[in-house]
Amino acid sequence: MNKKETGFLWSYQRSTLTDIYQAYKNPSYAKVKAFKNCRADMEAHDGYDFRITGKSCDFFSCAFCYVDHETHKEHLRYHTYARVYDFEI
């Protein structure tokens, strides 16, 4: 695991936010849509333990765990505003 992935894992482990309305009082339509897309990605990967890992007025990041069906190893899938990181933990 590289330095960036370690930072993502620490952010994930520290987070207690699981819903967009915990992170924002009145989230924008775009944030709600992005949140739903992240949740759909989690469901597509049979993921679990979804968390919002960071937030600002413009962007948020989120992550979830899943088990790769081919390797049977646990992964963290981390969504930022720009891309998705996926790595073994």
Closest C-alpha to 24, from 9, 14, 34: 34
pLDDT at 66: 98
What value does the mean pLDDT take over residues 1-28?
Answer: 96
Q: What is the pTM of this model?
A: 0.93
Average pLDDT on 14-19 reads 97
Evaluate if residue 1 carries a pLDDT over 90: no
The full 3-state SS of 34-68, as one line of letters, equals HHHHHHHHHHHCCCEEEEEEEECCCCEEEEEEEEC
Name the pLDDT band for 46 (thresholds 50, 70, 90).
very high
Q: Each residue of 66-86: pLDDT tens digit?
A: 999 999 999 999 999 999 999
